[in-house]
Structure 1
């Protein structure tokens, strides 16, 4: 990451990175405004950016919009929290106990590649068409991101440190707390960052296909009613949520891992 930042500075000396980011967004919005107006794309299906913005303002003036946004955030947060707790607990357990790691390896490799959307009919049959089905999909998708990372972190424990803990007769819980967890924590933070984005994708997908609640549900209603500008407005809201989730996850990672060399290197850069 440091090398990438240095290359950007070398390519554009004197220009701050945030200015380049703003310029990129402005260019995209300009093209989104001009291309439909000059007929390069069909304005019926891809309205100008100004129309999408006005539709977003109209939607934001309605209390139902904010309730839908809150519904999406709550669903995302609940699913991510469950996946995080389960992924960390089982990741530490499977990574620490060799028998369990080998016993579950084939099962994990069999279940992990299954797309969460493929389980949509199962979720509806078991849990109905409410929030619970969407949370089920979120947990299933996000859980693997955390589990695999935590297991990798546990396996990366320094053998010398592990042998030293055993020679001092550390109990299992003390060994996990003082030796295993500090090594696995950076991996867990990576799993959290990946899981947060995946959880948001599945939240919107579940709302769009199952419950018709939240931002995803309002997006689908806009599509069915032919309100194209409003549909794109909700796509834009989902994109903003994704950006916010990524920024918050990175900020949380930096605050938790302030002592880690990778974070200190970023700050120094």
Structure 2
């Protein structure tokens, strides 16, 4: 299995499929961040907005992304658009709630000091709340990155055609002697998840060395 996984590293067709999976992963994650971070800043800083959207958010949040695959496939077709849509939906929630939580952890003294010097709500948000929430947002992105990779591969497996790591696994599973390829594909999926998590963790440590979890790891 491991030998076959290494062999696949020299297969151009396989690597193109991995690239297609990573493209869907990155696109969906980027769209989720573009939606969730501004929305989280709004909900975390405007209580009326949070109250008005609470029912809708609490209704949508428990819906598993996998359960939406048939519906999204009917609307968008069984292609990369479906995978990106599923990844985006699944990744919105960790980033959104980490953003809201991070805003709630902002030091009240810092905000009161800025207000005392005449800064408005937007300035307080950008100068105090957002920097304080940034480590939490980064943690949400890291959590979402793992979820995005899972959804990207699962979406491709269920589609069963086109390019992608999941497609490779699905097609190998239908072959009579494809067990080794299936397991090798799973090894690649796990390796990609590990590399992505390590890379994002390293970025967090560099950008936010003052965060408690990173202070402990640097000691």
TM band (smaller chain): over 0.9
Conservation of the 8 A alpha-carbon contact between 1:130 and 1:211? no
Where do 5+ consecutive residues of structure 1 fail to align? 1-51
1:171 paired residue number? 120
Deviation, 1:178, is: 0.9
Select the residue among 59, 63, 72 that pairs with 2:21.
72
> SS of the counterpart of 1:259?
coil
Pairwise mapping of residues 87-166 of structure 1 onto structure 2 (< 5 A)? 87-166=36-115
2:180 paired residue number? 229
Conservation of the 8 A alpha-carbon contact between 1:138 and 1:199? yes
Conservation of the 8 A alpha-carbon contact between 1:131 and 1:211? no
Conservation of the 8 A alpha-carbon contact between 2:25 and 2:87? yes
- Deviating above 6 A after TM superposition, structure 1's stretches of 4 or more consecutive aligned residues are none
Farther off after superposition, 150-159 or 233-242 = 150-159
RCO higher in 1 or 2 (8 Å CA, sep ≥ 6)? 2
Deviation, 1:207, is: 0.9
Q: How many aligned residue pairs are there?
A: 217
Where do 5+ consecutive residues of structure 2 fail to align? none
2:165 paired residue number? 215
Q: TM-score when scaled to structure 2?
A: 0.94
Per-residue deviation, residues 148-191 of structure 1 (Å, max 9, x unmatched): 01001111222222222223221233211111112111110110
Tell me the distance in 2 between the aligned counterparts of 1:167 and 1:111: 39
Q: TM-score when scaled to structure 1?
A: 0.77
Q: Over alpha carbons, which structure has the higher Rg?
A: 1
Per-residue deviation, residues 217-261 of structure 1 (Å, max 9, x unmatched): 000000011311111100111010111111111111111102334
